[in-house]
């Protein structure tokens, strides 16, 4: 009889631990999680250390904010991480809606800010395809921006300019200068009487 009482108490304790673990997981603080411990190992390693098969996910409570995948990354000076062929995916309503790819990426390990360089392409079905040589990402402000020449192509138009900011939350694109918008001939001729 005493054994069954202990078994019931043990079962009850295990159930409470499981419920507490699930609650903690759902309410965990904003932060980074990795597909392993690559990011932490890379930040702790000495300059020049190389880690392969990177997968980082940033959460805001229980929502995914962005993911970063890359075949390899190398520890740079101070807390910088140099990423080779990064793929940065932004999530809204737990679905990836903007994907950015580049040849190289430089991540500030302290702030999470990223600088993507070399044939940077970003896009989704609504925005179209953005091309530039340098694109910055500020995770705190949730903004993509550049001071370089860029081209944004959609099915019905092409927008070119120098310097732009894309606010993720409002999905607002602001162009700084040298704005040029062109429309395909087919679109213009279809509207003529």
Instruction: Write out pLDDT tens, residues 12-59.
Output: 666 666 766 665 555 544 344 444 345 555 555 677 777 788 888 777
Rounded alpha-carbon distances, angstroms, from residue 13 to 4, 17, 24, 162? 14, 6, 16, 61
Task: Tokens for 30, please give them.
Answer: 């904003």
> To the nearest 10°, the Cα dihedral for 60, 66, 67, 73?
-100
* pLDDT band (50, 70, 90) for residue 137: very high
Q: What is the phi-psi region of residue 117: left when phi exceeds 0, alpha when psi lies from -120 to 50, beta otherwise?
A: beta
* pLDDT band (50, 70, 90) for residue 161: very high
Identify the structural domains of the chain with CATH numbers, from first to last.
2-191 (2.60.450.10)
68: β partners:
56, 88
pLDDT given for residue 28 in this prediction: 47
Q: How many residues does the chain have?
A: 193
Rounded CA-CA distance 68/59 in Å is 12
Q: Percentage helix, strand, coil, to 5, in the chain?
A: 20, 55, 25
The pTM of this model reads: 0.70
Q: What beta strand segments (E) does 49-124 contain?
A: 50-60, 63-75, 80-84, 87-92, 95-101, 104-108, 114-124
């Amino acid at each position: 009889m005493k054994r069954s009482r202990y078994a019931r108490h043990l079962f009850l304790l295990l159930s409470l631990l499981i419920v507490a673990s699930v609650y903690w997981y759902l309410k965990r603080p904003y932060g980074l999680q990795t597909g392993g411990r690559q990011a932490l190992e890379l930040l702790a390693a000495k300059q020049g250390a190389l880690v392969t098969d990177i997968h980082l996910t940033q959460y805001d409570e229980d929502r995914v904010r962005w993911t970063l995948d890359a075949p390899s990354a190398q520890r740079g000076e101070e807390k910088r991480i140099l990423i080779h062929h990064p793929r940065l995916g932004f999530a809204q309503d737990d679905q990836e809606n903007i994907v950015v790819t580049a040849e190289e990426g430089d991540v500030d390990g302290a702030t999470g800010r990223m600088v993507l360089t070399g044939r940077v392409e970003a896009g989704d079905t609504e925005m179209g395809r953005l091309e530039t040589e340098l694109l910055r990402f500020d995770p705190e402000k949730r903004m993509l921006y550049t001071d370089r020449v860029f081209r944004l192509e959609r099915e019905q138009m092409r927008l070119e300019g120098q310097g732009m900011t894309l606010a993720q939350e409002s999905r607002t694109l602001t162009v700084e200068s040298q704005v040029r918008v062109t429309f395909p001939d087919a679109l213009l001729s279809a509207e003529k009487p």
